[in-house]
Copies of this chain bind each other. A is one copy, B any other.
Amino acid sequence: MRRFVVVGHRAVTSSNFNLNDLCGSAGRLDVLLRCINSVFFLSHDLRRDAELYLIFKGEPDPPKTIKFVGNELKYLNPDERSTAALIRNALMKKIKKSEIRSTPGIYISRNNFEDTIEKLANISKLIYLREDGKPFDQKETDQDYTFVLGDDRNLSKEEEGILKKFQPEIISLGPISYHSDHCITILNWLLDQNTNPYESK
């Protein structure tokens, strides 16, 4: 299983946003939508061995976490607008204590960044993607990884402090700084090389 956590620092926590303005009124929701695409889409298929946790920290009602479970997902299309409509459905849900299913494979909860990281630290190896990290060297092919990224902004000092309590490995994709969704695409491909190496063709 491969897991990704992306922090939406300004991502709106109300369903009352405009599908025609996903960058502005929705707090750079467009970045998160592209991350969803990168985590799950293969050509004419979805990655069933993947999960994504999007942390919504924007106004008016933070925090909320929307979880995507690859082997349950339905109704996911690759374009931004239709995925935004699925997010809007999830944000319409009234959440009390526990996680609620919105549509197949999509769950919303009151979990914050720390709740999410703590839970994932128990079941997987945490990887923090940061420009000054070391190259990703995937030694254990059966390892469960959780990759943690910011949206268009890096993790805040506070978020970094929380993450570091759980002793993540800090890795980098090289000297160039990439969009979060592009990082996810590259990481997925790197992981694929071990599970489906060229040599086995």
Number of copies of this chain that the complex holds: 2
State whether the Cβ of A104 lies closer than 8 Å to any Cβ in chain B.
no
Docked complex: A3-42 residues within 8 A CB-CB of B: 19-20, 22-23, 30-31, 34, 37-38, 41-42
Docked complex: A21-65 residues within 8 A CB-CB of B: 22-23, 30-31, 34, 37-38, 41-45
* Segment touching B, from A66-74, A138-146, A178-186: A178-186
CB distance from A69 to the nearest CB of B (A): 20
CB distance from A12 to the nearest CB of B (A): 15
Which residue of B is nearest A177, CB measured?
B43
List residues of chain B with CB within 8 A of the CB of A34: 37, 78
Instruction: Name A residues whose Cβ lies closer than 8 Å to a Cβ of B.
Output: 19-20, 22-23, 30-31, 34, 37-38, 41-45, 77-82, 135, 152, 172-179, 182, 185-186, 189, 192-193, 196-198, 200-201
